[in-house]
Amino acid sequence: MITYDKNNKIFNLTNNKMSYIFCILKNGKLGNLYYGDAIGENLKIDQMIHFEKTSLTVNYFKNDDKFSMQNIKQEFPEYGRGDYREPAIMLTRENGSHLTDLFYKNHTIYKGKKGLEGLPSTRGEESCETLVIELYDQIIDLTVKLYYTIYKNINAITRHVELINGEKESVKINRLLSASIDFFDSDYQWLQFSGDWSRERHLIEKKLSEGITSIGSIKGTSSAEHNPFIILKRETTDEFKGEAYGFSFIYSGNFLAQGEVDSRKTLRMMMGINPFQFNWKLEKKESFVSPEVVLTYSNNGLNNLSHQLHDLYNKDLVQKKWMTQKRPVLINNWEATYFNFDENRILNIAKEAQQVGIDLFVLDDGWFGARNDDTKGLGDWIVNKEKLPNGIQGLSKKINDLGMKFGLWFEPEMVNEASNLFKEHPDYIISDPQRNSSVGRNQLVLDFSRKEVVDEIYRMMAHTLKNSTVEYIKWDMNRFISEPFGKDLGLEHKGEFFHRYILGLYSLLEKINENFPQIMIESCASGGNRFDPGLLYYAPQAWTSDNTDAISRLFIQYGTSYGYPISSIGSHVSEVPNHQVGRLTPLKTRTDVALFGTFGYELDIGKLSNEEKSQLKEDIKLFKENQEVIQKGRFYRLISPFETNNETAWICVSNNKEEALVGFYRIRNAASNPLKKIILTGLNPQYNYSVNGNEYSGIMLMKFGILLTDFYGENKVTGDYYSKLFVIKKI
């Protein structure tokens, strides 16, 4: 898959569907030549780069006025050598110089892929090949390794960078992006997934033009405001056709995704750790590894682009055992009780849940310390015996005796001032000792850049986990970092704080996974405030949003599906009026939306009527019958709520195309509606299918579609917040 043409000095990464091509330029630096549909071999640099003399440029060589770094598409741009676009790397040397001159030294190619120490990354054995390019700056004695892995059956290339310092001097890394690509033109739409608390990952589309377009985070988490995922697409590209490029960052902290269009209308795309507030001191002989960026490509539309990421993350990022095992249908007590519960109340909810077929009971916030509201107790991971006299051990056993698994909420990175942990270790928090500390949700952030802090939290968590039968953790994180200071870090190392925090977080997640392999983690951060591929590596599912309203969820889940498999999308049925937006939606609509995710409940089943309880039984049975299709099948977006603002449709198809599940949703009803049908995709045109009991041919479903007959005619007044599910089976 990876070749090097020695004569023409060209590296060619291809899986026969796409090609990623770059070269060694005459000054020894790397030039990007092409990224797109496969174009074979026998390529020549001067057929792909037009070296020309232009005004206002500076030239790298005295005797060559056609060779300017500004005009050349580069692969790993540096600062200060005549390229005035933002670079992928910038350092400060001991003498204050920011200049580097990195030249190709050698390269290696091997089967498979190695992990990144201390960082999440994708796996791959036979399915991929890796290229490592070594660049060297002789004056600094600095080696830079660029890693590329290309996958055989997935249109994905992963990239990261490693810096290895030599023996001459220390350097400060001011800026190190994990991937940078110069595109030939900038005629692209930029798609980002942005929002806020309870309005996460809404699709926003804009046209690129001269200057910089960027999104990022400087909050210490990837954040709900912007997801570390970007798509570039041509204007005519839609869900089913056309060219699109994805950029996804396997990282949970401060990030930057940036597109810079220059005066010649070329585009430089880059992604990595946000350089703002990043400054890493690399002593002599030390090395630094950047997190991994995933590049995906499709010439068959956005659904196909998403499938590349869904496949890669399902097969090669999420731990294997969670992809093979069926995920449990869960019930979480948060919206049912908030902080107000005791063992009896919990057991009553659990008993009702068991009777309708729920597999896992999750005890949310409030089980520990003095945690009766959100002002106290965080950090004291010791059970509150007033609420739970038999401890977590006793409660988990009672839940197990009902035939259910037991799960528990933690917010490991936080502390309330009113807690024993804070009393004993006030220095554990992130703060500038000369200033007061800002609070968010009455809490402070623990300094996870310090090993002893992480160790102490692990000790407390492990104590609870060892003495109970917990099989699931909801891992929450409910505020951003403020007063970032890194008290423990020396003056020269202060700029390492944010990244060291994330490394500390990953080390704790790793340790919990390693020592408690039976526990599945679901990540959460006030809902989807840290829904990113970094956490997916440790936690196969994420609480997508605190917003459980079915209509809001249409947008949130649709937006999330662009970059993430629906096996990772935590989605629950909650009570009405909805607790976040006050909307009243039918139970059917709430269920039909939640089915397309990890499915569960967030309400007190005891409050439901007998009729509703029987309905829950049916719904859970239906989910379990279709779980394989939902968890492992192909998900296609059919009708976008972002376009229609009223209708949404999507479909999950099993890998053998014998089964499928379609959801259609309409927000507002109107009289005399236009006629409506949904054209399906992903089925086998040659098969015959039963659709809710009626026979159709595959070709008919994919060309004509299914009529939505509930919509018109006499006595068909369906009201607002309507949904319809189609269960499709091959005959």
Nearest Cα neighbor of 653 from 679, 673, 681, 677 is: 681
Which of these ranges, 277-285, 314-322, 521-529, 533-541, lies near ligand GLA under the rule CB under 6 A? 521-529
Cis, bond preceding 641 (omega within 30 deg of 0) = no
State yes or no: residue 228 binds ligand GLA (CB under 6 A): no
Give the residue with the Cβ less far from ligand GLA, 311 or 602: 602
H/E stretch holding 172 reads strand 171-183
Residue 55: both structure tokens together = 């005004």
CB of 366 to ligand GLA, least distance (A): 8
Q: How far apart are alpha carbons 589 and 593 in whole angstroms? A: 6
Give the residue with the Cβ less far from ligand GLA, 216 or 527: 527
Q: How far apart are alpha carbons 637 and 664 in whole angstroms? A: 11
Give the residue with the Cβ less far from ligand GLA, 86 or 200: 200
Give the residue with the Cβ less far from ligand GLA, 19 or 526: 526
CB of 467 to ligand GLA, least distance (A): 23
Helix count (H) and strand count (E) of the chain?
Answer: 15, 39
Which of these ranges, 69-77, 279-287, 523-531, 626-634, lies near ligand GLA under the rule CB under 6 A? 523-531
CB atoms within 10 A of CB 18: 24
Active site residue 604: no
* Touching ligand GLA, residues 613-632 (CB under 6 A): none
Task: Give Cβ neighbours of residue 328 (< 8 Å, ≥ 6 apart).
Answer: 359, 360, 405, 472
Write the burial class of residue 382 (CB in 10 Å: 0-12 exposed, 13-18 middle, 19+ buried).
middle
Give the residue with the Cβ less far from ligand GLA, 122 or 337: 337
How many residues form the binding site for ligand GLA (CB under 6 A)?
11
Q: Is the dihedral of CA 573, 520, 253, 269 positive or negative?
A: negative
State yes or no: residue 527 binds ligand GLA (CB under 6 A): yes
Q: How far apart are alpha carbons 173 and 166 in whole angstroms? A: 14
State yes or no: residue 409 binds ligand GLA (CB under 6 A): yes
* Touching ligand GLA, residues 528-587 (CB under 6 A): 543, 546
Residues 590 and 573: beta-carbon distance below 8 Å: yes
CB of 384 to ligand GLA, least distance (A): 14
Q: How far apart are alpha carbons 565 and 311 in whole angstroms? A: 8
CB of 520 to ligand GLA, least distance (A): 16
Which of these ranges, 295-303, 384-392, 426-434, 519-527, lies near ligand GLA under the rule CB under 6 A? 519-527
Which of these ranges, 52-60, 64-72, 242-250, 520-528, lies near ligand GLA under the rule CB under 6 A? 520-528
List the x/- string, 629-668, binding to ligand GLA by CB under 6 A.
----------------------------------------
CB of 404 to ligand GLA, least distance (A): 19
Task: Give Cβ neighbours of residue 527 (< 8 Å, ≥ 6 apart).
Answer: 197, 198, 200, 224, 543, 544, 545, 546, 547
List the x/- string, 298-337, binding to ligand GLA by CB under 6 A.
------------------------------------x---
C-alpha distances in Å from residue 163, one per residue of 171, 174, 709: 10, 13, 62
Quick one: which of 75, 86, 292, 364 contacts ligand GLA (CB under 6 A)?
364
CB of 571 to ligand GLA, least distance (A): 13
Task: Give Cβ neighbours of residue 718 (< 8 Å, ≥ 6 apart).
Answer: 666, 669, 710, 711
CB atoms within 10 A of CB 355: 13
CB of 478 to ligand GLA, least distance (A): 5
Task: Give Cβ neighbours of residue 603 (< 8 Å, ≥ 6 apart).
Answer: 335, 336, 573, 574, 575
CB of 602 to ligand GLA, least distance (A): 8
Q: How far apart are alpha carbons 228 and 223 in whole angstroms? A: 9
Residue 114: both structure tokens together = 């190695």
Give the residue with the Cβ less far from ligand GLA, 20 or 543: 543
Nearest Cα neighbor of 597 from 638, 550, 642 is: 550
State yes or no: residue 478 binds ligand GLA (CB under 6 A): yes
Which of these ranges, 95-103, 397-405, 524-532, 635-643, lies near ligand GLA under the rule CB under 6 A? 524-532
Q: Give the SS3 label for residue 254.
A: coil
Give the residue with the Cβ less far from ligand GLA, 305 or 336: 336
CB of 413 to ligand GLA, least distance (A): 13
CB of 319 to ligand GLA, least distance (A): 23
Give the residue with the Cβ less far from ligand GLA, 526 or 723: 526
- Of all residues in the shown chain, the one whose CB is closest to ligand GLA is 365
CB of 499 to ligand GLA, least distance (A): 25
Quick one: which of 454, 524, 630, 653 contacts ligand GLA (CB under 6 A)?
524
Choosing from 137, 311, 359, 546, the catalytic residue is 546
Residue 373: both structure tokens together = 């509201």
C-alpha distances in Å from residue 4, one per residue of 7, 132, 516: 9, 12, 44
Give the residue with the Cβ less far from ligand GLA, 57 or 547: 547
State yes or no: residue 476 binds ligand GLA (CB under 6 A): yes
Give the residue with the Cβ less far from ligand GLA, 543 or 562: 543
Nearest Cα neighbor of 133 from 37, 2, 256 is: 2
Q: How far apart are alpha carbons 44 and 65 in whole angstroms? A: 21
H/E stretch holding 629 reads helix 610-632
Give the residue with the Cβ less far from ligand GLA, 222 or 478: 478
Choosing from 380, 447, 476, 532, the catalytic residue is 476
Residue 386: both structure tokens together = 């007033």
Quick one: which of 248, 274, 526, 654 contacts ligand GLA (CB under 6 A)?
526
Active site residue 476: yes
Q: How far apart are alpha carbons 176 and 550 in whole angstroms? A: 41
Q: How far apart are alpha carbons 521 and 525 in whole angstroms? A: 13
Residue 671: both structure tokens together = 């009289």
List residues binding ligand GLA (CB under 6 A). 334, 364-365, 409, 476, 478, 524, 526-527, 543, 546
Active site residues: 476, 546
